Every structure is written in C-alpha cells, then in structure tokens.
Structure 1
Amino acid sequence: MKIHNVLVVGKNEAIVALLIKLVNKYPELFALGTCELEEVPTICQISPVDVLLFSSGLCLAEEKDISQKVAQFHSNVKTVEHFGGGSGLLRTELNQALGLILACPE
C-alpha cells in the first residue's frame, strides 16, 4: 500500500495539530505540518509531499507563495483547502485530491 504524504499548513497551532491527528488516523496517509511558513521549504527537502493541506489563517498571497515553494520540490502536489466542517468533509476532500476511497477510521 502506498503511503501518501500530507503537509498541513495554517496559522493556528491547535487546528494544525488536530488536522495532523485526523489525517494520521488513515493508514494510507502520513501527515506533518507547520504554522511557520519559513519551514515549508525545509520540510519539502526532507519529506515527499503528495497533498498540501491549507488550514485557516492564511491569506491568498501566503497560500500562493507556499504553493509555489512546494511545487519547486514536488511538481505533482495536490492542494486541498480545508477550513472546517468535520472529519467527514476532510476525508472527502482528501479522497477527491488523491483519487482514493479512504475508509472511516476506527
């Protein structure tokens, strides 16, 4: 089974931590994240990124800048903007981005 790597980026530490926890409940996914935008290139150098998951607090210019930085390292990265709505919505967004059907975590 291929493990898909998810990079969570947002401004609220508690929300980023929660999203990492939710994503990591799926055996097909591995998430890490940051609230420090300057850390994104370093993370991309040491870890593959299949999905860039934006959380709350970022302005459009920051999202664009982050997307460009990630694309320099991982040209086929998929982007998901998740601003709440529960883990069911998150699962659907990840399914669509990756073309998967993630089972509900137990």
Structure 2
Amino acid sequence: MEPTQLRILAVGRNAEIMTVMHRLLNAPDNWTGITVTADEAARAAFEKEAFDIVLICAGVSTEEEAVLTAYFKQHSPAVIVKRHYGGGSGLLKNEILYALENR
C-alpha cells in the first residue's frame, strides 16, 4: 500500500542524472523527492526530514553505499534503502512501488 505522501531521497554523484531524478521523483502528485550529490547533503536532508525510501544512484561506490545505508538504518530502521541502476521513468516508478510492497 502506498503512503499518502511518499518521501524519497536520492543520492548520486552525477549532477545531470540527479536533475533528471529530481524531475521524475516529483512528477507523481503524491511523491516528494529530494536529490543530492554529496554524502554530507544526504545526511543533512535525512536529519531534517523523514524519508520512506532512499535511492542510491550512479557514482556512489559500494563502500559509500554501505556507510550511508548503515547511517540511514541507524537513524530510521524502517527506511527502505535501495540501489537504483537507472532506466526510464516507468521502471523507476515500478521499482519504488515494488520496494514498498515488499518491505
């Protein structure tokens, strides 16, 4: 079941990709997406707002992903942290909805 307002944080290193992600994540009426390109910005956003899902996007290394995931889970155990590999808007939406259904 989809929350009334889904809050999504996306962390990636490529500014152009994150600009597209921002547009895609904010397209549905009941989604609010924030995109960042630095770990510090991700932590700051996470401390400021509660997120349902965190997407780890292009350019974030496996080691960085592990550190971020540990941080997010420590501060909000129920948050979904998922690696996003790219694809079109339909794939992104289905990926997010699938993660919500299978949490």
Q: TM exceeds 0.5?
A: yes
RMSD (CA atoms): 1.6
Identity %, equivalent residues: 26
The structural deviation recorded for 1:66 is 0.8
Letter in 2 for 1:26: P
Q: Secondary structure at the match of 1:56?
A: coil
- Partners of 1:78 and 1:5 in 2: CA distance: 11
CA distance in 2, matches of 1:18, 1:72: 29
Residue among 48, 61, 66 paired with 2:63: 61
Gapped regions of structure 1 (runs ≥ 5):
100-106
Q: How many residues align?
A: 100
C-alpha separation in 1, matches of 2:4 and 2:75: 19
Aligned equivalents of 2:6, 2:75: Cα separation in 1: 16
> Shift of residue 79 of structure 1?
2.0
Shift >6 Å, 4+ stretches:
none
Which AA in structure 2 matches 1:75?
P
Counterpart code for 1:67: T
Correspondence for 2:87 among 77, 85, 88: 85
Q: TM-score, normalised by structure 1?
A: 0.86
Q: Scaled by the length of structure 2, what TM-score is found?
A: 0.88
Name the SS of the counterpart of 2:50 in structure 1: coil
Tell me the distance in 2 between the aligned counterparts of 1:3 and 1:29: 6
Residue type of the alignment partner of 1:78 = I
